[in-house]
Chain A
């Protein structure tokens, strides 16, 4: 009985520790927003990034910070991929050119 109680307390503690907080969401969202802004300055934003940012905000508004943080991290990864694309295409576009 004591053992079961201890396990239950342990599981509850671990899952609470793994759950994302509002602060986690804010940190992840700020990073994603900054990356998307940089993609904007390169004139190369992606629609899925915008969708993930909007989904993150919506999930946060409903108090689901797990989903909100996951969406913000997804947006961050997408924004960084778009930055990488814009950077590599600065020269690579010439490879496609008809000559």
Chain B
């Protein structure tokens, strides 16, 4: 009898230990999340100034920073910036232009994207808004992962440089759900390598992954789009997400899928207050 009781007790203890810890508060709390996110990185990297997180690996590796500062004198994204400015100003066949689709003529507004569209109940990213603008004016949409989209967003980011990311979550249960879905995507392990976004950008920023120094998740989208030496070209946020998924040996989702849009919403929101620094350059 005693033996049975002892075995039962041991099994009960083991079951309690293996069960996931109970969480006191399962409510969706974006403001609380953002604070915890910032506190985590501030504690992990006490020497990095808050605004400097947007500079990714350069904020945590002195050698790379010096090289980057030299490169910034003749930045590799400059050609994309010029092309983007020209494309942005060029009228569509119907005489209208991108400026007609955005508030303030599209200048200095990057920090407000993505936003939650309460009409269709979904997140709208800047890349998506640009293509919607094109289609509304009878133009074919651009590829989300190629140079033209990167050039346009590079120009728009440049006009917002220094402005603080300012993502709003309206009091709409669908917006909260989109935010939560983005958060879930960020922390979910996927691919044969069993990596989540957080495996690299929360658990290991500053560490090397082969020749790369991993960037912190805090402010990671503020520098987008980026010129990557590895790509020998510019990359949009869509391209970054697709590539990250492939690197974990997961089949990437389609660019601007709901999951990627929600992920961008979450990552941008928790980086509120950090300055836009795009377009950026990375190894």
Contacts and interface: CB of A to CB of B under 8 A. Distances in A.
Interface stretch (B99-107, B160-168, B246-254): B246-254
Given A89-B188, A89-B190, A98 B250 contact: no
B95 interface: no
Contact of B250 (A45, A95, A97): A45
A96 B187 contact: yes
B250 A47 contact: yes
B192 A47 contact: yes
Interface string A56-89: 0000000000000000000000100110011001
Interface residues of B, number: 26
B143 interface: no
B40 A43 contact: no
Given A43-B253, A89-B188, A99 B20 contact: no
Interface residues of A, number: 22
A44 B36 contact: no
Contact of A96 (B33, B198, B253): B198
5 contacts: A48-B249, A89-B188, A89-B189, A92-B189, A94-B23
Interface of B: 20, 23, 33, 36-37, 40, 183-184, 187-192, 194, 196, 198-199, 202-203, 246, 249-251, 253, 259
Interface of A: 43-48, 50, 78, 81-82, 85-86, 89, 91-99
